C-alpha cells in the first residue's frame, strides 16, 4: 500500500483520537455527581410523597419515572463503554499505520521529498505531538474510569444486594435499587411503559380529600409464589409471631374461599390475588388486603381451545394449583386446563389464551412468574415440555424453548449472577439457567431425578436445587460448575430457601435442616414429626413454615437455628403464605385470612 495512504489514515485517526478523548474528558465533568436515583423530578416527587404518603397514584408515578431514569442511566453506561472501545480501536489503527509508514525508513536518501513526509520523518516535534496524543488518551481513559457508572454505583452495590435478597420491587418508590429496571437488556422499543395509562400526571396525583380515612397501602410486594422472583425471602417488617383463628387474636379478617385450589396467595399494594376452580368454573380473585372483601372475580371462559371436559387431576393437585403473578399493573393466572388469563388491577380482562391441555397425570401445578414485561410459564408435561415467554401486555409469544427431559411440577425463579438476571428452572434430569430476555441457555447441570416438584432458590450468585430421590446441589451461576452436593435431607414438595450463611430444606417426613451455603456441611436439623408441602419464607431474620396440619413453626435464621415459636392454627395449610409490612395472608383448604397485630 502507498505510504501516503498510511500517512493520511494516521492523520485522520489522530484527529479522531484527540476529539474523542476531549469528549470523554468533558463527559466526566458533565456526569460527575449524577446518580440514577437522584434525578431532580424524582426527588421532588419523593418530597411530595413525604407529605402525602398514602397516595398510590403518586407512588406509581415515582416508580415509573425512577424506572425511566435508571434505563437512561445505563444506556449512557453502554455508550461510554462503546466510546472506549472505539477510542482503543482508533489507537490501534494509528499505531499500525505509523508502523507501516516508517517501515524501511531507517535511512533517508538525499533527495527532495514531500514537506509533510520530511516533517514526519525528521522533525522532533512530531514525537512530542505523538506522545502528547497518547498522554491525552491515557488521561481520557482515567476520566472514563472515574465517570463509569459501575464505579459510581460501587457505593450502593451492597444496597442492591440487600434489595435483591429482600425482593421488594414494583410498588416501593423509595427503594434504592429496582433490579429489573437495571438489568433487563431489551431494546427500548420493546419496553412496555404506557405513560397514558400507568402514570398519573402530577396535577391528578392528589385526589380530592375524603372524610373517610384511606387505607395505608403497603410498599412491600409479594408478586409471585414465594415472593418477588420466587426466591423465598421478603423485606416485610413488623410481622406477627403469634395468632389464633379460634379467638381472633391478631386476625384482621377471614373469608371462606369461593372455589377450591392449592395455589398460594400473592400481594401487591392493597390487592390480594389467588385462584379457585372446580368442574363448573375457573376463577381469578382479588380481595382487599385491609378489609378482606372481595373486590372482583374473573372467570376463565370463552377461551379458544379451552377443553369442554376438565382434565383428570388428583385431589391433592386439583384444577387450580398454580399461583398467579403480577407486575403491579396486571395479574396473570393459569389453570390445569392450560387456560391463561390476564387482567388489569380492576379485574378487566386484557387477554386470554389456551396453551393446550397439559398431559399431566397429577395435574398442572407450575406457578407463573413475571419479570420485566415477560410472563414465564414452565410447561413441562409428558409431551412437548417447554418454557414459554409471553408479552405480559398482550399475551403474544416472545419466545419458546423446548426442554428435553421428563415431566415435572417445579416453578421458575430469578437469580442474579454478577448483577445479571438468570431464569432458573429445575426439571428431570437437569437444573437449567436461561437468559430471561432471549431464552438463550446459559448453562445446564444434570443432577435431578424422580418427580421434581421443588423449586430452586439462590443467594450471592449461587443456585440451589434439591429433590427427593435425587440430591441437593449448589451451583456456581457464573459457569454452571457444581460447588457441592449432599443427600442427607431432601424435599418432596417444599422448596428450599437460603440466607448468606445457611440453606434450609423442609422434607415431607418432618425434618427441617440447615446447611452451610459455602461447604454444604449439615449445620443442624429439627425433627418435627409433621409433613411439609408449604415452602419456608424468611422474613425479618426468621423462618416461617407451615406444616400440612396447619401448625406454624417459626425459627431463627442465625447460627443457633432455634425454634422460636410453634402453634396450631386449626386449618390444614399446604399453600405458602404471602408477606407485606405488618401482615401475612394465609390460604388454607377452606379459607383465606390475614394476620395483623391487633
Average pLDDT over residues 417-432: 96
Q: Could you give the CA distance from residue 396 to residue 197 in angstroms, rounded to a whole number?
A: 20
Boundary residue ending a domain (49, 79, 100): 100
Tell me the pLDDT band of 77, cut-offs 50, 70 and 90.
low
270 shares its domain with 409: yes
What are the C-alpha distances in Å from 207 to residues 54, 99, 200, 270? 11, 71, 11, 18
The single residue listed with the C-alpha cell 404506557 is 194
Quote the number of domains for the chain. 2
pLDDT (tens digit, 9 = 90+) per residue, 259-285? 999 999 999 999 999 999 999 999 999
- What pLDDT shows up at residue 141? 75
Cell numbers linked to 149: 457508572
pLDDT at 136 over 70: yes
Boundary residue ending a domain (57, 80, 100): 100
Average pLDDT, the chain: 82
Residue 15 lies in a domain: yes
Q: Could you give the CA distance from residue 34 to residue 48 in angstroms, rounded to a whole number?
A: 21
pLDDT at 47 over 80: no
The region of weakest confidence among 31-35, 252-256, 395-399 is 31-35
Residue 571 lies in a domain: yes
Residue 506 lies in a domain: yes
- Bridge partners, 378 (sequence order): 387
Residue 201 lies in a domain: no
Pairing of strands 386-391, 472-476: unpaired
Residue 177 lies in a domain: no
pLDDT at 581 over 60: yes
Boundary residue ending a domain (55, 77, 100): 100
- Give φ, ψ of 539 to 5 degrees: -140, 130
What does the chain come to in residues? Answer: 598
pLDDT at 191 over 60: no
- The more confidently predicted of residues 170 and 544 is 544
Strands (E), 154-198: none
Q: pTM above the 0.85 mark?
A: no
Average pLDDT over residues 144-150: 56
CB 319 within 8 A of CB 325: no
pLDDT at 390 over 60: yes
- The more confidently predicted of residues 566 and 62 is 566
81 shares its domain with 225: no
- The more confidently predicted of residues 113 and 479 is 479
- The more confidently predicted of residues 201 and 59 is 59
- What pLDDT shows up at residue 199? 36
CB 353 within 8 A of CB 340: yes
pLDDT at 40 over 60: no
Give the number of other CB atoms < 10 A from CB of residue 344. 12
- What pLDDT shows up at residue 518? 96
Tell me the pLDDT band of 345, cut-offs 50, 70 and 90.
very high
pLDDT (tens digit, 9 = 90+) per residue, 212-242? 556 678 889 999 999 999 999 999 999 999 9
Cell numbers linked to 335: 389453570
Q: Could you give the CA distance from residue 404 to residue 17 in angstroms, rounded to a whole number?
A: 51
- What pLDDT shows up at residue 192? 34
Residue 485 lies in a domain: yes
- What pLDDT shows up at residue 80? 73
Half-sphere exposure of 34 (CA within 13 A, CB side): 19
Residue 180 lies in a domain: no
- The more confidently predicted of residues 28 and 195 is 28
CB 592 within 8 A of CB 577: no
Pairing of strands 413-417, 397-402: unpaired
The region of weakest confidence among 182-191, 304-313, 394-403 is 182-191
Give the DSSP letter string of 399-459: EEEE--SB------EEEEETTEEEEEEE-BSEEEEE-TTT--EEEEEE---SS-----EEE
pLDDT (tens digit, 9 = 90+) per residue, 93-110? 878 877 777 665 544 455
232 shares its domain with 89: no
Q: Which range marks the domain in which residue 476 is found?
A: 219-594
Q: What percent of the chain has pLDDT over 90?
A: 60
Average pLDDT over residues 122-126: 55
Selection from 66, 73, 67, 83 nearest residue 21 by Cα: 83
CATH number of the domain residue 238 falls in: 2.130.10.10
Residue 160 lies in a domain: no
Average pLDDT over residues 83-89: 81
pLDDT (tens digit, 9 = 90+) per residue, 407-417? 999 999 999 99
Amino acid at each position: 500500500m502507498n505510504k501516503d495512504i498510511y500517512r493520511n489514515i494516521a492523520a485522520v485517526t489522530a484527529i479522531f483520537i484527540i476529539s474523542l478523548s476531549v469528549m470523554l474528558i468533558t463527559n466526566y465533568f458533565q456526569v460527575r455527581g449524577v446518580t440514577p436515583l437522584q434525578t431532580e423530578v424524582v426527588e421532588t416527587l419523593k418530597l411530595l410523597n413525604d407529605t402525602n404518603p398514602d397516595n398510590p397514584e403518586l407512588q406509581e408515578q415515582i416508580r415509573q419515572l425512577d424506572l425511566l431514569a435508571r434505563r437512561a442511566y445505563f444506556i449512557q453506561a453502554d455508550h461510554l463503554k462503546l466510546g472506549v472501545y472505539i477510542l482503543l480501536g482508533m489507537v490501534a489503527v494509528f499505531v499500525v499505520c505509523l508502523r507501516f509508514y516508517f517501515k524501511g525508513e531507517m535511512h533517508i536518501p538525499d533527495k527532495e521529498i514531500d514537506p509533510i513526509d520530511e516533517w514526519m520523518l525528521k522533525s522532533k516535534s512530531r514525537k512530542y505531538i505523538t506522545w502528547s496524543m497518547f498522554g491525552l488518551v491515557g488521561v481520557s481513559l482515567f476520566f472514563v474510569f472515574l465517570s463509569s457508572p459501575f464505579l459510581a454505583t460501587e457505593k450502593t452495590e451492597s444496597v442492591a444486594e440487600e434489595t435483591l435478597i429482600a425482593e421488594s420491587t414494583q410498588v416501593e418508590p423509595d427503594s434504592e435499587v429496582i433490579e429489573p429496571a437495571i438489568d433487563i437488556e431489551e431494546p427500548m422499543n420493546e419496553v412496555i411503559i404506557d405513560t397514558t395509562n400507568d402514570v398519573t400526571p402530577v396535577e391528578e396525583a392528589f385526589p380530592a380529600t375524603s372524610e373517610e380515612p384511606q387505607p395505608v397501602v403497603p410498599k412491600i410486594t409479594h408478586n409471585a409464589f414465594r415472593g418477588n422472583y420466587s426466591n423465598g425471602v421478603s423485606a416485610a417488617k413488623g410481622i406477627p409471631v403469634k395468632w389464633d383463628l379460634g379467638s381472633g387474636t391478631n386476625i384482621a379478617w377471614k373469608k371462606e374461599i369461593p372455589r377450591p385450589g392449592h395455589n398460594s396467595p400473592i400481594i401487591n399494594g392493597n390487592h390480594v390475588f389467588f385462584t379457585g376452580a372446580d368442574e363448573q368454573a375457573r376463577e381469578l380473585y382479588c380481595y382487599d388486603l385491609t378489609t378482606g372483601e372481595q373486590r372482583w372475580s374473573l372467570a376463565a371462559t370463552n377461551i379458544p381451545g379451552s377443553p369442554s371436559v376438565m382434565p383428570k387431576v388428583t385431589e391433592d393437585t386439583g384444577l387450580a394449583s398454580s399461583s398467579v403473578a403480577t407486575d403491579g399493573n396486571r395479574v396473570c393466572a393459569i389453570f390445569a386446563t392450560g387456560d391463561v388469563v390476564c387482567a388489569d388491577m380492576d379485574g378487566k380482562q386484557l387477554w386470554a389464551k389456551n396453551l393446550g391441555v397439559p398431559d399431566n397425570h397429577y395435574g398442572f401445578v407450575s406457578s407463573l412468574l413475571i419479570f420485566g414485561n415477560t410472563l414465564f410459564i414452565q410447561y413441562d408435561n409428558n409431551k412437548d415440555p417447554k418454557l414459554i415467554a409471553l408479552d405480559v401486555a398482550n399475551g403474544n409469544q416472545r419466545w419458546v424453548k423446548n426442554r428435553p427431559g421428563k415431566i415435572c411440577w417445579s416453578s421458575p425463579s430469578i437469580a442474579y449472577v454478577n448483577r445479571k438476571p438468570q431464569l432458573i428452572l429445575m426439571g428431570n434430569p437437569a437444573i437449567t439457567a436461561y437468559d430471561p430476555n432471549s431464552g438463550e441457555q446459559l448453562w445446564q447441570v444434570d443432577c435431578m431425578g424422580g418427580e421434581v416438584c421443588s423449586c430452586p432458590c439462590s443467594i450471592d450468585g449461587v443456585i440451589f436445587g434439591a429433590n427427593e430421590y435425587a440430591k441437593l446441589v449448589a451451583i456456581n451461576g457464573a459457569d454452571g460448575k457444581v460447588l457441592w452436593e449432599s443427600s442427607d435431607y431432601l424435599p418432596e414438595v417444599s422448596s428450599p430457601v437460603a440466607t448468606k450463611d445457611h440453606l434450609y430444606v423442609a422434607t415431607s417426613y418432618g425434618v427441617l435442616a440447615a446447611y452451610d451455603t459455602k461447604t454444604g456441611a449439615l449445620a443442624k436439623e429439627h425433627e418435627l414429626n409433621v409433613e411439609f408441602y408449604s415452602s419456608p419464607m424468611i422474613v425479618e431474620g426468621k423462618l416461617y413454615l407451615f406444616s400440612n396440619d396447619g401448625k406454624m413453626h417459626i425459627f431463627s435464621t442465625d447460627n443457633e437455628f432455634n425454634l422460636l415459636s410453634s402453634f396450631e392454627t386449626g386449618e390444614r395449610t399446604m399453600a405458602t403464605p404471602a408477606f407485606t409490612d405488618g401482615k401475612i395472608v394465609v390460604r388454607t383448604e377452606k379459607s383465606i385470612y390475614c394476620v395483623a397485630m391487633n
